[in-house]
């Protein structure tokens, strides 16, 4: 049986090397020698470090022959890089769509590693694998990662509408919002006003599925009604920044249901002017609403968000949390039971959570 020969002077040198080792491969070799000198056999070290016995013996032979200098691993320079492009050269290519290169014969707008392989072969006569492309990009400092969405609304009045919403929101936050801020202020003295986010969402009997904790190897199965999938429409109005709300459930999401909800909203707040923020859904912008809005223009004003900007409607955050906590991965016995569960959850949802959803500090609120 072979063991490492470590005398008193070599022990001091070995201990110092173990203490200063930064590379894990170098530390592992040093530890093999250290334990071998203490009487551990080759089979024991092989099991301990998950290395072949031949490798363990080679380490010991090298140390016994030439000490630590002979034991130290000799890292090679590696294979010469096939295409030593700079980061700027790679980015110049990536910022062009693959469909712009005729030889690729593709309509793709985004690069994949497979398209990179085809491009290098067609335009640079360089044949590489996808893993080689990945390594070259990594060495150049180009990360292959998920894209990120940014706000880009096609609405030509995006800035105007956004500023209008932000201005009303700011006045509501400091308590200075009145009916005089309306496009057509009602006659008479200024009325105190509320800033309200309005939206509707579907309550489907068939549950929406999503991520959840489950035992390893077992997928959670959620009951569903099968092909039958009735639904209800939940209309909600969230007052900013108080967190109060008015909610109603209907069988449809037409302008008639919107009118019913608006009437309910006005009845619940008879002495206040209402600025109601909503998106551009067809039921919200139809001409069939014009007569109702003119009749009650002394009570409320509809403030439309820019198109394709759901992130600006804070009640969307409430719908997302509601689905996560109530409807996702859960099947209710009936559509009526589902509606009752949602309304109960809305009634019991903590006020502090409403503040978090609206992005305000609860401690800064003043109640009168």
Paired tokens of 23: 């590379």
Q: Which residues contact 226 (CB under 8 A, 6 or more apart)?
A: none
Residues 317 and 350 in one domain: yes
Instruction: Please give the pLDDT value at position 367.
Output: 44
Q: Measuring CA to CA, which residue among 164, 155, 205 is closest to residue 183?
A: 164
Instruction: Please give the pLDDT value at position 215.
Output: 77
Kindly report the backbone phi and psi dihedral angles of residue 315, in degrees, each rounded to the nearest multiple of 5, phi listed first: -70, -20
**146 falls within a domain:** no
Residues 52 and 104 in one domain: no
Residues 66 and 94 in one domain: no
Residues 177 and 301 in one domain: yes
292 dihedral zone (left: phi>0; alpha: psi -120 to 50; beta)? alpha
Range of the domain at 118: 87-140
8 A C-beta contact, residue 190 and residue 173 = no
**78 falls within a domain:** no
Residues 346 and 197 in one domain: yes
Paired tokens of 84: 């030593």
Rounded Cα distance between 191 and 189, Å, is: 6
Going residue by residue through the chain (368 aa), what tens digit of pLDDT does each one get?
A: 788 999 888 889 999 998 888 888 899 999 999 999 988 999 989 998 889 999 999 999 999 988 888 888 776 555 555 778 888 888 888 888 888 899 998 888 888 888 999 999 999 888 889 888 888 888 888 887 777 766 667 788 888 999 999 999 999 999 999 999 999 999 989 999 999 999 999 999 998 888 877 777 788 888 998 887 899 999 999 999 888 889 999 999 999 999 999 999 999 999 999 999 999 999 999 999 999 999 999 999 999 999 888 889 999 999 999 998 899 999 999 999 999 999 999 988 888 888 888 887 766 555 44
What does the DSSP 8-state code read for residue 269?
A: S
8 A C-beta contact, residue 234 and residue 249 = yes
For residue 249, list its beta bridge partners. 234
Instruction: Please give the pLDDT value at position 79.
Output: 58
CATH number of the domain to which 34 belongs? 1.10.10
Residues 104 and 209 in one domain: no
Helix (H, G, I), strand (E, B) or coil at 214: coil
CA torsion sign for 292, 298, 300, 305 is: positive
Q: What is the DSSP string of 80-98?
A: PPSS---HHHHHHHHTS-G
Residues 92 and 54 in one domain: no
Rounded Cα distance between 132 and 117, Å, is: 9
Instruction: Please give the pLDDT value at position 151.
Output: 62
Rounded Cα distance between 332 and 204, Å, is: 10
Rounded Cα distance between 161 and 166, Å, is: 9
Please tell me the pTM assigned to this model: 0.61
Domain count within the chain: 3
Instruction: Please give the pLDDT value at position 85.
Output: 86
Residues 227 and 122 in one domain: no
Rounded Cα distance between 161 and 169, Å, is: 12
Rounded Cα distance between 140 and 147, Å, is: 19
How many Cα neighbours within 13 Å face the side chain of 78?
Answer: 4
Residues 93 and 221 in one domain: no
């Amino acid at each position: 049986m072979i063991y490492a020969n470590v005398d008193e002077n070599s022990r001091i040198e070995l201990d110092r090397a173990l203490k200063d080792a930064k590379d894990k491969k170098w530390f592992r070799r040093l530890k093999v020698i250290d334990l071998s000198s203490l009487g551990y056999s080759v089979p024991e070290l092989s099991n301990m470090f998950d290395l072949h016995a031949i490798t363990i013996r080679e380490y010991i032979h090298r140390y016994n022959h030439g000490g630590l200098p002979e034991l130290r691993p000799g890292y090679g320079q590696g294979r010469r890089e096939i295409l030593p492009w700079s980061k700027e050269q790679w980015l110049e290519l990536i910022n062009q769509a693959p469909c712009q290169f005729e030889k690729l014969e593709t309509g793709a707008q985004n690069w994949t590693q497979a398209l990179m392989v085809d491009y290098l072969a067609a335009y640079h006569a360089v044949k590489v694998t996808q893993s080689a492309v990945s390594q070259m990009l990594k060495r150049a400092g180009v990360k292959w990662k998920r894209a990120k969405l940014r706000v880009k609304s096609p609405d030509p009045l995006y800035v105007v509408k956004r500023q209008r919403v932000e201005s009303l929101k700011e006045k509501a936050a400091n308590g200075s919002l009145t009916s005089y801020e309306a496009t057509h202020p009602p006659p008479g003295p200024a009325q105190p006003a509320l800033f309200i986010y309005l939206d509707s969402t579907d309550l489907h009997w068939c549950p929406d599925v999503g991520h959840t904790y489950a035992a390893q190897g077992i997928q959670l199965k959620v009951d569903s009604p099968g092909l039958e999938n009735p639904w209800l429409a939940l209309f909600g109005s969230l007052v900013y920044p108080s967190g109060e709300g008015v909610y109603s459930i209907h069988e449809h999401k037409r302008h008639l249901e919107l009118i019913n909800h608006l009437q309910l909203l006005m009845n619940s707040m008879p002495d206040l002017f209402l600025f109601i923020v909503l998106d551009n859904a067809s039921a919200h912008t139809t001409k069939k609403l014009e007569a109702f809005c003119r009749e009650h223009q002394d009570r409320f004003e509809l403030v439309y968000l820019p198109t394709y900007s759901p992130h600006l409607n804070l009640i969307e955050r409430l719908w997302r949390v509601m689905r996560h906590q109530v409807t996702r991965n859960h099947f209710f016995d009936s559509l009526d039971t589902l509606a009752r569960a949602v309304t109960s959850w809305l009634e019991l949802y903590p006020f502090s959570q409403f503040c978090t959803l609206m992005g305000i500090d609860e401690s800064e609120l003043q109640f009168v």
